[in-house]
Amino acid sequence: MARRYFGTDGVRGVVGRDLTPDLIERLGKAATLWSKGGRVFVGRDTRASGPELEEAFARGIVEAGGNAVLAGVLPTPAVALLALDLGVVVSASHNPPEYNGIKIFDRDGQKLTDAAEEEIESLLDAVIPGSVAGEIDRVDVANDSYLEHITERFGSELSGLRMVVDCANGAYSAIAPQAFEQLGAQVTAIGAEPDGTNINVGCGATDLSLLQRTVLTGRRSTATRSWRSSPTTSASISLPSR
Helix locations, the chain, DSSP H: 21-34, 50-63, 76-82, 114-121, 142-154, 176-182, 209-223
Q: Are 234 and 218 in contact (CB under 8 A)?
A: yes
- Answer yes or no: 93 catalytic: yes
Q: Are 73 and 44 in contact (CB under 8 A)?
A: yes
Of the residues 93, 173, 238, 241, only one is catalytic, namely 93
- DSSP summary character for residue 10: B
Q: Whole-angstrom Cα distance, residue 122 to residue 116? A: 10
Sign of the Cα pseudo-torsion (46, 69, 111, 56, in order): negative
Q: How far is CA 219 from CA 72, 162, 202, 232, in A?
A: 37, 10, 21, 11
Residues with catalytic roles: 93
